[in-house]
Amino acid sequence: MDLLEYQGKQFFARYGIPVSDGEAVTTVDDAVAVADRIGYPVVVKAQVHVGGRGKAGGVKLADDADAVREHAGNILGLDIKGHVVRTIWIEVASDIAEEYYASFTLDRSAKKHLGMLSAEGGVEIETVAEENPDAIAKIWIDPVDGLSEADARDWVERANLNPDATEGAVDILRKLYTAYTEGDADLTEINPLILKPTGEVHALDAKVTLDGNSTFRHEDYSEYEQTQVRDEREEDAHSKGLQYVGLDGYVGVIANGAGLAMSTVDIVNQVGGKPANFLDIGGGANAEVMAGALEVINNDPKVKAIFINIFGGITKGDEVANGIVTALERVDIDAPIVIRIDGTNAAEGREILSRHESASLISKPTMVEAAETVVALAKERGGQ
């Protein structure tokens, strides 16, 4: 779950990270009222799940109520890279001496948490990494050990931050790490992390992505669902409890397990096709789940053929095959379907499917054969 900036700052504040005073509003009059309350100057900031707000005119400084009214009126309803601004954040303006960058995420290959810190803040970290990679100080943290004060201090020194920022940066980095781990986040990022002329270090922005699978530990995370941006396909899948990401291709993908779903997307690409989605139905592949997945795929007009890729583990291949057959009786599918079943009771599953095979329902024994077949069918039907 991606949080809006104001939600990220509220999240940071729970862990003691200093953020600017402010309030999220949805009307011009409320924007003026908040600005009058917190005091001028203020910054009027668009709240959307996309970067580049400043360049698009979504971040403006206001010295008085008339300026707030003007900027709020211009920003509300503004389209920023396809995201229409419905909420704005009014916050106290901050004096800035220097800008830094700080973040934590997971380095899966190292099986450790990765922290990145740079004295070059205020720009996209990808740009810094490309133009001056030595400007990014990295630290890999064993989850068992955590981030000690000594390690944080050494990290700050390696990043060449202003010595005046050392104490404040060390304190915020340790709190940011706590927010990242205890908050079950996939990403916590501050850009810019600022040093004020008075010496305080302060989070001027907040980018937070939370692990949606952790909501059972955080009941309050349900409030973030209301501000998630999904297209119609993703909203439909979410309502059915399916893990779905919409893509731009023409081959619908259904698989059981995130790893297999990613591999399926990859192999469709490798054989010359373009996947229309990532859809993970999880460990179960009964008729109800499969019917829901097929409905989501079928509602995408760009899908020309469907690839169902199942590996039977605890869920047996014959059970999956029966689920697919039953689901197809419930859902009217226009696109041809290619199925690959492997693993536990795969032979039995293929035997069940063989009794229902046709020009629009085809079973193949391997991923490669299935991928090549589904891509060929999709292209025959206009996929490009």
From the number of C-beta atoms within 10 Å of its C-beta (0-12, 13-18, 19+), residue 197 rates as exposed
- Alpha carbons 80 and 48: distance in angstroms, whole number: 8
- Alpha carbons 292 and 275: distance in angstroms, whole number: 19
Question: Which entry of 100, 101, 180, 224 is annotated as an active-site residue?
Answer: 101
CA-based nearest residue to 260, from 210, 307, 298: 307
Please calculate the CA angle 304-305-308 and round it to the nearest 5 degrees: 150
Residue 327: which residues within 8 A CB-CB, separation 6 or more?
Answer: 287, 288, 290, 291, 294
Give me the amino acid identity at 376. A
CB-CB contact of 91 with 206 (8 Å): no
Question: Which entry of 91, 99, 120, 189 is annotated as an active-site residue?
Answer: 189
- Alpha carbons 276 and 82: distance in angstroms, whole number: 20
Cα dihedral across residues 223, 226, 227, 232: positive or negative? positive
Give me the amino acid identity at 96. I
**What is the pairing mode between strands 98-107 and 185-195?**
antiparallel
Q: And the tokens for 179?
A: 């927010």
CA distances to 311, 346, 363, 381 from 340, rounded to whole Å, are 8, 9, 6, 21
The answer to whether the peptide bond before residue 163 is cis (omega within 30 degrees of 0) is: no
Phi-psi region of 200 (alpha: psi -120 to 50; beta: other; left: phi over 0): beta
- Alpha carbons 358 and 275: distance in angstroms, whole number: 23
Active site residue 250: no
Active site residue 101: yes
The answer to whether the peptide bond before residue 41 is cis (omega within 30 degrees of 0) is: yes
Helix (H, G, I), strand (E, B) or coil at 267: helix
CB-CB contact of 126 with 191 (8 Å): no
Catalytic residue positions, numbered: 101, 189
